Structure 1
Amino acid sequence: MMIKAEGAGAITGNADRLRDDLADYIKSWGMFRTPQVEAAFRTVPRHLFLPGVALDVAYGRKPVVTRRAADGTSVSSASSPKLVAAMLEQLAVEPGQRVLEIGAATGINAALLAELVGPTGGVVTIELDDDLAAGAAESLEAAGYPQVEVVCGDGALGVPNRAPYDRIIVTAEAWDLVPAWWDQLTVGGRLVVPLRLHGSGLTRAIAFDLHQPDHMISTSAVVCGFVPMRGLAEHAEQHVRLADDVVLKVDVDDLPDDTALARTLTHPGQEHWPGIHVRHDEPAEHLDLWLVTTAAHRFGRLSVGQQARTTGLANPAMRWGGAALYDGGTLTYIVTCDIDDDTLELGIVAHGPDSVKLAGHTTDLLHRWDRERPSRPVITACRTDTNPGANTAETRIVRPHTAVTVTW
């Protein structure tokens, strides 16, 4: 009996069905706010940008890593479709606009942008590695988007000979808002960028509107995680190992005592449950950012493997990325327990020689958060190289080119 190979028509049909299924999933989460972004997701053939990847993976709900470094970390990927949709809604592209994308990767996002700007607009996308740039250009051509201009270069420099742009979107984690992005965005334009707001890796996809040449104000902020930028805008992270399966990510500017922190988990953990309840559907995703901007003690994020969680060594709440506070060799971190299907309770676990004191401080902070329930940060960015006065006492985050203030 002969088995007939699956033909191109069947593959196309399966891809169409899977593409609609993915769009339905994103819609069920409320990520589509405009029909234009939804239509783009139902149109762009993702599988043509992911050669060699199975259809169900190409149209899956998770990121697809397309290149890894020698140590196994992701260098390039197709981002989570749900997050891509959220950022495109943040970008609010209009037909006829000119858009610059920093980080072409597979080219999928550039194709979505091409759908949004339409035949009268323009999309330029830049990629650091020449082979990735070439692959994105080839896929864009094959998928029917030859009008997208793919440039091989450092995204920190932008593409000045095609500027100005009405919209700029960055698809890699950035440490700073570099001068090229300020210079190449039109006043009144919008920049959407996954900006690392703390050295521990706490990142938000922020939609900034450029109100003046040296002043931006956010319209929204979305929790996200991205591969860090490489090239001129690259920035190293600092990690402190607390156990074989537990790492505390910190900000090097906080001058952490690595030796003292490394002994933290040798002290028994003390649980504290202050009676604070949070609904699963409640807009509480920025609790960790609120702690960064409010707490007097240093902030960090615990990265814990499954073995450490299973043994009970450390089991921080994943909802807030392992949010923790530390002082010397004492550490507190947020934990949760389910009250029912709709609600969880916030608690903390404290380790270290001064655990009673730090636990009390952290509990007081959580009670304050519970009273205020801040849900939407307003993030202001000022360009420091043209406005030295932007670095004021109110500024919580200062980078080489940008001073950022977060208010609630």
Structure 2
Amino acid sequence: MDALREQLVTVLKQNGHLRSTAVERAFQAVPRERFLPGVEPETVYRCRQIVVKRDPGGAALSSASNPALVADMLEQLDPQPGHRVLEIGAATGINAALLAELVGPVGGVVTVEFDQDLADSARARLAGYRNVEVIRGDGALGHRQAVPYDRIIVTAGAWDISAAWWDQLAADGRIVVPLRVHESGLTRCFAFDRIAPHHLVSTTAPLVCGFVPMRGIARHADERVGLGAGVVLNLDAADEPDSAALSRAMRHPRHERWTGIQVDDTDPVGHLDLWLLAHADKPFGRLDPGESDLVSPAYRWAGAALYDGGTIAYVAFRPVGDSRHEIGAVAHGPDADQLAAELAGLLERWERAGRPNQTAVAAYRAGTRPVQPGDIARPDTILTIALSPMSSGLETDRLSAAARQAGSR
């Protein structure tokens, strides 16, 4: 097991997921196999998600996240010795063990789990970690008995920064949370620092990620339209989609528009979908092809798509060389040629803008200022998100300043 653990650490370090000595040592110290009994050791120490509980329909309810994502989120969180940390979603208990190593014996970790059976198993497997307390409860409510928390980390897909998290975060605290910024399930993991009682700003680049959604009072149901052959379009019910018309879109022939824009797997273009959400005039959605070959969305952006009436257009790839792809638009529906052209035009506009991929994000508590055009408004939080092609340290400072200004308007 020690050899497998060291191998995982080496892979994570080589790929840039382990960037601090503290997080590296935590990964070296925690025996993942203790928290995943019955799973083959080679699988336990592989960079992949492991589902540990499903609902009767087969949907994942809880999992051990990919170690690469776990490492990235812990680097975002930056817990220090002596910190008190609140974790939302104990699951297997692996992350709580890593946090316990990071905060040390004078720090403390409270981890909240929605399911009683998972809470019980995590508590048993965390025996020996005296600075960890496992609570069975609704994560959206946090845990008031140990406030304030220097750090809060959420390990489920959240629709909002809940009122309880606002209340329980320390005055100079940090919260790392995978936020579903669109009802289609488009998610980014943000690290927010509290700079005022009702104002948070992001401090690091958001992570592209996907998580099992939160349950309990924070549960938020997705809107889905079946397109046939197992293909599903995830969208926002507030856009009032014509579900019946959309369900017939795939009966129409395929229309393609290619842009000449080329990217490879190492290009920093992961937030193209976020940019489309912010700039498209048509409603945004995410196409899930399932096991079907009826559609072929580009894998980089989780099926980013636009729709209009009964027509759907999505971002697609076609290979043009070693690891290089040309970006284009593929559409189905009665107005496929028109919508494909519109999406291709947006992609060209994105290219001319310098492929914006740096984000400036402000979050502030709902009710502390009016909602403005372009805001993402949730019951407890209002978000402002801006993207820029800037990449230098000075420009990153400017983005941070922009986020602060957005929150103070």
Deviation per CA, 1:256-312, whole angstroms, max 9, x where unpaired? 110110111111011111100112211101101111111111011111133x22xxx
Q: C-alpha separation between the residues in 1 aligned to 2:344 and 2:171? A: 43
CA contact (8 A) 2:89 2:112 kept: yes
Match of residue 325 from structure 2: 344
CA contact (8 A) 2:107 2:131 kept: no
State the 1:318 CA deviation.
1.4
TM-score (norm 2): 0.92
State the 1:62 CA deviation.
1.1
CA contact (8 A) 1:299 1:325 kept: yes
Three-state SS of the structure 2 residue aligned to 1:149 is strand
Q: C-alpha separation between the residues in 2 aligned to 1:78 and 1:36? A: 21
Q: C-alpha separation between the residues in 1 aligned to 2:248 and 2:14? A: 45
**1:370 and 2:388 are equivalent in the alignment:** no
Letter in 2 for 1:69: D
Correspondence for 2:246 among 261, 270, 286: 261
Correspondence for 1:404 among 383, 388, 398: 383
Correspondence for 2:29 among 2, 26, 43: 43
Match of residue 60 from structure 1: 46
Correspondence for 2:186 among 188, 202, 218: 202
CA contact (8 A) 2:91 2:122 kept: yes
CA contact (8 A) 1:100 1:165 kept: yes
Q: C-alpha separation between the residues in 1 aligned to 2:197 and 2:108? A: 23
Correspondence for 1:392 among 363, 372, 376: 372
CA contact (8 A) 1:173 1:227 kept: yes
Deviation per CA, 1:88-122, whole angstroms, max 9, x where unpaired? 01101111111100011111000000111112211
Three-state SS of the structure 1 residue aligned to 2:189 is strand
Deviation per CA, 1:55-105, whole angstroms, max 9, x where unpaired? 112212211111111000111111111100010011011111111000111
CA contact (8 A) 1:382 1:390 kept: no
Three-state SS of the structure 2 residue aligned to 1:316 is coil
Correspondence for 2:73 among 87, 93, 99: 87
Matches within 5 A, 1:233-244: 233-244=218-229
Q: C-alpha separation between the residues in 1 aligned to 2:14 and 2:287? A: 31
**Equivalenced residues, count:** 385
CA contact (8 A) 1:218 1:378 kept: yes
Q: C-alpha separation between the residues in 1 aligned to 2:159 and 2:266? A: 30
Distance 1:390 1:95, change over 3 A: farther
**1:171 and 2:155 are equivalent in the alignment:** yes
Three-state SS of the structure 2 residue aligned to 1:377 is strand
Correspondence for 2:213 among 215, 228, 237: 228
CA contact (8 A) 2:278 2:374 kept: no
After the TM superposition, list the runs of 4 or more consecutive aligned residues in structure 1 that deviate by more than 2 angstroms. Answer: none
Match of residue 12 from structure 1: none
**1:162 and 2:146 are equivalent in the alignment:** yes
State the 1:379 CA deviation.
1.7
Percent identity, aligned pairs only?
Answer: 53
Match of residue 379 from structure 1: 361
Letter in 1 for 2:244: T
Q: C-alpha separation between the residues in 2 aligned to 1:357 and 1:57? A: 47
TM-score (norm 1): 0.92
CA contact (8 A) 1:390 1:403 kept: no
Ranges in structure 2 where 5+ consecutive residues have no aligned partner: 388-409
CA contact (8 A) 1:383 1:390 kept: no
Deviation per CA, 1:338-363, whole angstroms, max 9, x where unpaired? 22224211011111122232222211
Larger Rg: 1
Match of residue 262 from structure 2: 277
CA contact (8 A) 1:64 1:78 kept: yes
Correspondence for 1:252 among 237, 253, 269: 237
Q: C-alpha separation between the residues in 1 aligned to 2:296 and 2:324? A: 18
Alpha-carbon RMSD: 1.1
State the 1:146 CA deviation.
2.7
Q: C-alpha separation between the residues in 1 aligned to 2:87 and 2:139? A: 9
Q: C-alpha separation between the residues in 2 aligned to 1:95 and 1:146? A: 15
**1:71 and 2:57 are equivalent in the alignment:** yes
CA contact (8 A) 1:68 1:76 kept: yes
Q: C-alpha separation between the residues in 2 aligned to 1:390 and 1:284? A: 32
Q: C-alpha separation between the residues in 2 aligned to 1:212 and 1:353? A: 51
Q: C-alpha separation between the residues in 2 aligned to 1:72 and 1:394? A: 37
